[in-house]
A and B are shown apart, each in its own frame.
Chain A
């Protein structure tokens, strides 16, 4: 019973942060489940994928209502990430897992540093491509923006999807920086849109894990319920916080992710 309540609490926190930042949080849930709760690794991954779906689904009910999700942009980049993720299973044979984990950690540190160096949010500008607008309660104004460098963003998303397919993590940690740094989408809109996208890749993965019998309701049900509660709160925080504060939290979480991937690469069983 105590473990059940602890799992609910962990899932709640993962739901808050995952939905607030658009990263899903598989990278935190998997080691948490396997180290703290002793869940077998495949079951832990299956549970974490269910958590990503729950995060994405619940978060969208808030973001879509506020018009923060750029649905067309999300759908376009989903083509890249979902193709990349499915191809990930094919390319996994070609690359050494450890090399990939170090590369992933290095890339995360680099992205966090780039976001930090940029200081503020992307400067919104009209580009005529996938334009959208939303009201930002923290800035107290309507933010209008267009998408820049769509092709580059698409190619990079292919890579992000591929890496997530290879390493079994959602890839939201890369989707947000790609849209924000490369495509010039304001942070709140990238978080909302990334949240929409992570559910798609995760759903395909979850269906496979279910079919193979790795889904365990003993962990998946409390985790999903905790996440659903947390993911009601997270987007509300994301909406109200200033883009600057959100950016700083995002950078810290990226650095934590990078550290965890580094430890995994060094063989600490994460």
Chain B
């Protein structure tokens, strides 16, 4: 038997309308064996529909935070709540996109995009691996079209470009209709024009679906473009969340605004001070 014994929180909350937080960490502490805690008594909230960027130097715990939010790691103490429920396993409505190597190398683009649906069919709507209510069948073709992959759907990941691979990963995740999208440096291995194109596309898709977005990055410009709020992490232990507001993120042409430049400067200084 696993951690199911926990509490009533695995069941839907009786007052779903009350929940405005998509993510809440309560006294989150996370320690790798015998090291300084990466997070110590860390309290942080993300409201539904917000776009967050998590920015920090290597080794600050950005990726760990994302894995905690994805239900792939568990707190040493404290709790991570997503949509009001304590995470015990990856949540079916959360989408995760990693920097690289997330696609099955032995499956075509189309088979990769279908993978999430096939896994859901594999288990049926059991509420653990898939949402408990049966979902409408997903139009894979629509997503292939939308992300410009229709002409490449029978190719294998090794045959397409890095940008196309990340488009495939995005299509695969969004085809599952997530309400929370977690991204770990998703564009950092791409060249600049491809990166900007995919950043804009992600913002567009996020706005359409009203997704909550948490994107982890070490690139100041990416944080400034993607995050309406920016969580700045420093060297461990992280205790108090350092949050910078960036309300204009996501607006067309924001990259050329003076506010954007000023924010980048500010972030650069604060990051330098944190290391």
Q: Do A and B bind each other?
A: no
What is the interface of chain B, defined by CB distance below 8 A to chain A?
A: none
